[in-house]
């Protein structure tokens, strides 16, 4: 395994908690924005998480990959959906996104294994 994705989400959550304490209004606004963006509408919450994962891949954000791969797995995304999402991320991010796409697959597999 390249990275311990569970530990990544745990460690980042702890670090982000410190930021929440320092700038509570900003954190509250971000949380509200995330909730609003993920409401089921024309696109399901799952599909929005897949979009966020593709963006995380294309911008090479390991934290984004960890959190959105976890959410996608929890929302029932299939491995095939993750593979197509990785393809979009690579398309939008070029060669460097290929490596983060591979990491996203590993992260998804880690969290999907928890679901059984």
Nearest-angstrom CA–CA distance, 74 and 71: 5
pTM attached to this predicted model:
0.90
Half-sphere exposure for 29 (CA within 13 Å, toward CB): 5
Per-residue pLDDT, 103: 94
Per-residue pLDDT, 116: 74
Nearest-angstrom CA–CA distance, 10 and 114: 15
What is the number of domains present in the chain? Answer: 1
Q: Between helices 79-93 and 95-115, what is the axis angle to 10°?
A: 160
Q: What is the CATH number of the domain that holds 37?
A: 1.20.1290.10
Per-residue pLDDT, 50: 98
Per-residue pLDDT, 1: 74
Tell me the average confidence (pLDDT) per consecutive run of 10 residues in the chain, 116 residues long: 92 95 96 97 98 97 97 98 97 93 95 89
């Amino acid at each position: 395994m390249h990275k311990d994705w569970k530990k990544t989400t745990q460690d980042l959550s702890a670090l982000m908690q410190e930021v929440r304490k320092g700038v509570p209004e900003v954190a509250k606004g971000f949380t509200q924005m995330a909730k609003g963006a993920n409401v089921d509408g024309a696109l399901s919450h799952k599909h929005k998480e897949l979009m966020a994962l593709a963006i995380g891949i294309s911008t090479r954000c390991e934290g984004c990959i960890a959190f959105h791969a976890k959410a996608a797995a929890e929302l029932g995304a299939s491995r095939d959906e993750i593979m197509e999402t990785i393809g979009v991320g690579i398309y939008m991010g070029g060669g460097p996104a290929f490596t983060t796409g591979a990491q996203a697959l590993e992260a998804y597999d880690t969290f999907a294994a928890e679901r059984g």
